[in-house]
């Protein structure tokens, strides 16, 4: 029994290490929710979903497997040739070796090319699916998720997955074949020694399972920190002008350093985890080799027995080589474990986005609309962005086809919300909205929005050219059609002054054009599609006087095209509307045309008089204060412009 004490010491060492790791894992497991340790998607589910993207390319992986194994087979043939080596067969042996070397090089090259191309195709398909899914999300979902998070998922996380298909999968299969082959050889040579070596396998499995938990937690934290820093950069690089205006560079740098430091700590945590895991796998290999040498070196080598089975020196040498070949692939897998866990963490983040269910979806029986007259009706519509805070309260109104209707009211009264609900950017909680007598929920979203032309206050232009921004890269429009639309909205005067005309470069967000110029281009972008219903949401709010005259002329033309809905703070721009709906606190206060509302001397009359007085005061004209105006305005004028008030 004393002869086996060293083996018991090895067992005690492994038992102690295992106990420490199990206790550490148990302590962390109790706090996993607080530490963000919980697994959102199981590994099996991740593998299954990734396999769907790899399935169309299974022939490529089979070919790579053949290319990977063929050099090993021919290497074995080479060894058989060299067993009967004679001096006269030297040239044959050299030729065989050279052939194996050339084949190995060619196979490795082809294997690398095929894997890289296949991996990129898989990742490209995954990236397209993520982007397409993001496009299907509602406005509420897009607003709730930072842009930097979406960018990280589409760009960074998909790239992290590519290594899984270009290296890890094939190497994993190769190493499993090698390990299985070595095990069979060891059992054929000496099954008792093979069983002794297999005693170390449970510890390999145990260490791998435990460290998989720790590495997944570390990689999740790293992905979160990467997302956080990308989000911060996306927002603050876009708002750099504001930062510079208020001289907040130092504060923003300090915040960035904090986020950068968090990412640094997360990366360090990964290094620490693998700094323990890799040496432990190597320790198992070293202990297995020591046990083999101890058993084989007891007394004389020849005739040594282990549990009643004789062991020769040749057996020891052969087993030493097998142990090396058995643990080398396992150590290689330990090295690849880093990349595998990184890929799984990224895949988990990506599938979390893909699992977001779009809030705005088509009904199974939704229809396509080929033609729209433009008759709109709201019936008892209630809506809230957050629970228990109603933005619209039992709103009902009807707009006849071809009418121009304006919505006015204070900020937060629900004007823009009405337009968003009409386009199904959000869903109503109660009531219904009808278009040509059809509930908009029964119309396909793409078909519904195709008949609307939206012109917003904050015009977004994409990097590219004026042509690409007007057509949105839709090749069905000719240059003549583009210029016709531009002439209709007076944007042709802008384009004619540009050196390259329609091919003039548009920088990011159109920052090389003024607000008025961007607005004219957005009008052309809308009119070229000839929508039946046009929506203008504060489209003339931040425009200079000269451009405003061009836009007013454009608006008068567009009013004759179809139904037009206008949200405007400048009441002078909506005096010719067929109907003006005045909103307050989510309810309709009054409605009618401009003259009727002035005669009623209600909320619209007060708003109009306030703007009228303000315009005259800005021109420096004396005027009597209208008694219908609010007392706060009277006090403001008395304090700000006392010299203009008549005695």
Q: Where are the beta strands (DSSP E) in 253-403?
A: 304-306, 309-311, 376-386, 389-399
For 119-130, letters b (16+ CB in 10 Å) and e give bebbbebbbebb
Question: 116 is written with which tokens?
Answer: 């890289």
pTM above 0.85, yes or no: no
Helix axes 169-189, 191-198, angle to 10 degrees: 140
Are residues 307 and 1 in contact, defined by beta-carbon separation less than 8 angstroms? no
Question: 475 is written with which tokens?
Answer: 């090749």
Are residues 633 and 618 in contact, defined by beta-carbon separation less than 8 angstroms? no
Cα–Cα distance measured from residue 519 to residue 606, given in angstroms and rounded to the nearest whole number: 29
The pLDDT of residue 621 is: 58
Cα–Cα distance measured from residue 214 to residue 22, given in angstroms and rounded to the nearest whole number: 12
The answer to whether residue 57 scores a pLDDT higher than 70 is: yes
Three-class DSSP category at 53: helix
Are residues 562 and 532 in contact, defined by beta-carbon separation less than 8 angstroms? yes
Helix axes 5-30, 201-238, angle to 10 degrees: 30
Q: What is the pLDDT of residues 344-379, one digit of tens each?
A: 888 888 998 999 888 888 888 999 988 889 899 999
The answer to whether residue 646 scores a pLDDT higher than 80 is: no
Cα–Cα distance measured from residue 40 to residue 344, given in angstroms and rounded to the nearest whole number: 11
Are residues 574 and 566 in contact, defined by beta-carbon separation less than 8 angstroms? yes
Tell me the pLDDT of the chain averaged across its residues.
Answer: 80
The answer to whether residue 618 scores a pLDDT higher than 90 is: no
Q: What is the pLDDT of residues 544-553, one digit of tens each?
A: 666 667 666 7
For the chain, first and last CA: distance in Å?
119
Q: Which residue has the higher pLDDT, 146 or 318?
A: 146
Burial class of residue 544 in the structure, from the number of CB atoms within 10 Å of its CB (0-12 exposed, 13-18 middle, 19+ buried):
exposed
Question: What contacts 254, CB < 8 A, 6 or more positions away?
Answer: none
Q: Which residue has the higher pLDDT, 89 or 604?
A: 604
The pLDDT of residue 615 is: 64
Cα–Cα distance measured from residue 535 to residue 517, given in angstroms and rounded to the nearest whole number: 19
> Confidence band (pLDDT; 50, 70, 90) for 158?
confident
Three-class DSSP category at 561: coil
Q: Supply angle C-alpha 41, 30, 258, rounded to 5.
A: 75
> Confidence band (pLDDT; 50, 70, 90) for 189?
confident
**Residue tagged 């109660």 (tokens):** 430
DSSP state of 152: I
Q: What is the pLDDT of residues 261-293, one digit of tens each?
A: 999 999 898 888 888 888 888 888 888 888 877
Are residues 566 and 552 in contact, defined by beta-carbon separation less than 8 angstroms? no
10 Å Cβ neighbour count for 42? 10
């Amino acid at each position: 029994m004393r002869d086996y004490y060293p083996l018991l010491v090895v067992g005690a060492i492994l038992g102690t290490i295992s106990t420490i790791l199990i206790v550490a894992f148990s302590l962390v497991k109790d706090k996993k929710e607080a530490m963000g340790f919980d697994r959102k998607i199981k590994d099996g589910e991740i593998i299954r979903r990734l396999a769907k993207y790899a399935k169309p390319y299974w022939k490529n992986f089979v070919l790579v497997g053949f290319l990977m194994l063929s050099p090993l087979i021919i290497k074995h043939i080479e060894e058989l040739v060299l067993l009967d080596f004679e001096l006269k067969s030297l040239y044959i042996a050299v030729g065989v070796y050279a052939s194996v070397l050339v084949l190995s090089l060619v196979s490795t090259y082809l294997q690398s090319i095929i894997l890289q191309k296949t991996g990129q195709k898989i990742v490209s398909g995954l990236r397209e699916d993520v982007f397409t899914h993001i496009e299907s999300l509602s406005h509420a979902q897009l607003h709730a998720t930072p842009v930097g998070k979406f960018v990280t998922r589409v760009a960074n996380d998909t790239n992290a997955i590519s290594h899984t298909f270009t290296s890890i999968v094939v190497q994993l299969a190769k190493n499993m074949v090698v390990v299985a082959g070595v095990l069979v050889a060891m059992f054929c040579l000496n099954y008792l020694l093979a069983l002794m070596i297999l005693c170390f396998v449970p510890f390999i499995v145990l260490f791998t399972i435990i460290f998989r938990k720790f590495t997944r937690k570390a990689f999740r934290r790293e992905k979160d920190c990467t997302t956080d820093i990308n989000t911060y950069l996306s927002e603050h690089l876009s708002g750099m002008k504001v930062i510079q205006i208020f001289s907040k560079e130092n504060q923003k740098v300090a915040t960035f350093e904090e986020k950068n430091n968090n990412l640094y700590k997360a990366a360090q945590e990964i290094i620490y985890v693998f700094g323990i895991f890799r040496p432990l796998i190597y320790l198992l290999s070293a202990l297995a080799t020591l046990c083999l040498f101890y058993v084989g070196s007891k007394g004389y080598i020849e005739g040594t027995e282990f549990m009643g089975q004789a062991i020769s020196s040749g057996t020891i040498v052969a087993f030493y080589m097998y142990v090396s070949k058995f643990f080398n692939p396992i150590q290689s897998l330990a090295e690849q474990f880093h990349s595998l866990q990184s890929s799984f963490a990224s895949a988990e983040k990506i599938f979390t986005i893909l699992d977001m269910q779009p809030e705005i979806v088509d009904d199974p029986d939704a229809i396509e609309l080929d033609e729209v007259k433009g008759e709109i009706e709201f019936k008892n519509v209630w809506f809230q962005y957050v629970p228990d805070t109603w933005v619209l309260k039992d709103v009902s109104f009807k707009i006849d086809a071809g009418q121009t209707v304006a919505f006015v009211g204070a900020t937060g009264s629900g004007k823009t919300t009405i337009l968003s609900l009409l386009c199904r950017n959000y869903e109503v909680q109660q009531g219904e909205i009808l278009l040509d007598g059809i509930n908009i929920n029964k119309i396909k979203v793409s078909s519904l929005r195709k008949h609307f032309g939206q012109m917003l206050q904050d015009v977004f232009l994409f990097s590219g050219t004026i042509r690409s921004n007007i057509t949105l890269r839709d090749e069905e429009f000719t240059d003549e059609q583009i210029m016709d639309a531009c002439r209709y909205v007076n944007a042709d005067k802008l384009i004619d002054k540009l050196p390259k005309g329609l091919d003039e470069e548009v920088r990011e967000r159109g920052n090389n054009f003024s607000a008025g110029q961007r607005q004219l281009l957005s009008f052309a972008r809308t009119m070229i599609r000839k929508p039946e219903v046009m929506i203008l949401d504060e489209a003339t709010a931040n425009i200079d006087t000269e451009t405003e005259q061009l836009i007013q002329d454009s608006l008068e033309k567009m009013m004759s095209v179809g139904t037009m809905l206008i949200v405007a703070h400048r009441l002078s721009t909506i005096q010719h509307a067929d109907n003006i709906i005045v909103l307050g606190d989510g309810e309709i206060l009054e409605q009618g045309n401009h003259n009727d509302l002035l005669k009623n001397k209600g909320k619209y009359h007060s708003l109009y008089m306030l703007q009228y007085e303000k315009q005259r005061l800005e021109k420096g004209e004396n005027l009597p204060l209208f008694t219908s105006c609010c007392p706060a305005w009277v006090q403001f004028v008395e304090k700000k412009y006392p010299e203009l008030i008549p005695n």
